[in-house]
Amino acid sequence: MSIQTVTTILTDIDQAPAQLEAAIGTARALDAHLHVLALASGLVDQAAMMGAALDPIPVSLGVEDSLARAKELGELATTQLSAEDIRWHVETAVGSGASNATEIARHTRFSDLVVQHRLSGPADQDRTRRLAETVLFESGVPLLLLPDATQIAAPPSKVLVSWDESDTALRAVRQAMPLLTKATYVHVVMVDPPKDAPDRSDPGGALAQYLSRQGIKCELSVCNQNDGSISSTLERRATELGCGMIVMGAYGHSRLREAIFGGTTRNILANATLPVFMAH
């Protein structure tokens, strides 16, 4: 598998230039085509209003405003990309409420990777989570989530793979293979592996063998979750090892369980300070 199409979704005019720079750098590093989706959310949910048989005039006004904002985002992207030497195209779309997910899924399902900056500000954590869930579940595409103002000009030379023996983690490794094969070293890290696991005598050994057969130099380590969460343990370990990216499976537990009890994926989406490649 190779990454031939990279998509980035622009929703905020103030954040768009930095996110475009990050997406351009990623596409150039992978020699991939960059697809930009300029998405504006409507001020009202059209479906809800029409279903309730409300006055359609506010709906049309909301659509006109959304179309104008989508056009502005698209023109900004076109201007910025015109000076670049990569392959690219820009699309505009308008969503409202639940239809945002529909538009995102429709426009990204044929991409190989979605690159997004985390939306800034505590109030935007929910928007980041909903966008990530749409990409991972509705589009079925891996997501490269970047902290604020982070750019990737080249694949990181060192990558940490979070491994918990799950099918979700294995899918993430397989989908990240184009990036892992470009790394000089991959660190496979297991946090508190269960003592009664089938491979307890050689935890992670099968994955290390799989990676080595792909020509990837890797090292396996086991660490304990001391103070804090699994996500903070992974980030701390990645920093200690000098890794520039974390690869992990997303939502190993159900979204409902993570919503109620919290979870590694939600913590990463809200707090990660390193780029994170995640897949479900």
- Return the residue matching tokens 């050689």: 202
Say what percent of the chain tops pLDDT 70.
Answer: 83
CA distances from 249 to 84, 174, 272 (A): 33, 11, 15
Q: pLDDT tens digits, residue range 211-246?
A: 999 999 999 999 998 767 899 999 999 999 999 999
pLDDT of 199 reads 65
Domain spanning 158-279: which CATH class is it, in words?
alpha beta
Residue type, 117: H
Could you check whether 5-146 and 158-279 share the same CATH topology? yes
Is it the case that residue 207 has pLDDT exceeding 70?
yes
- Average the pLDDT over 272-279 and give the result: 94
Q: What are the residue boundaries of the structural domains of the chain, listed by start?
A: 5-146, 158-279
- Average the pLDDT over 156-164 and give the result: 95
Is it the case that residue 149 has pLDDT exceeding 60?
yes
pLDDT tier at 121, thresholds 50, 70, 90? low
What is the pTM assigned to this prediction? 0.88
pLDDT of 51 reads 47
CA distances from 124 to 117, 147, 206 (A): 12, 13, 39
- Separation between Cα atoms, residue 148 and residue 210, nearest integer Å: 33
- Separation between Cα atoms, residue 250 and residue 141, nearest integer Å: 12
Residue 56 neighbours by CB distance under 10 Å:
12
Q: pLDDT tens digits, residue range 33-74?
A: 999 999 998 654 444 444 444 455 455 556 788 899 999 999
Edge-to-edge order in the sheet of strand 185-191 = 88-95, 33-41, 5-10, 113-117, 143-146, 276-279, 245-249, 158-162, 185-191, 218-223
* Mean pLDDT value across the chain: 87
pLDDT of 46 reads 44
- Separation between Cα atoms, residue 29 and residue 151, nearest integer Å: 11
CATH number at 5-146: 3.40.50.620
Strands 185-191 vs 33-41: parallel, antiparallel or unpaired = unpaired
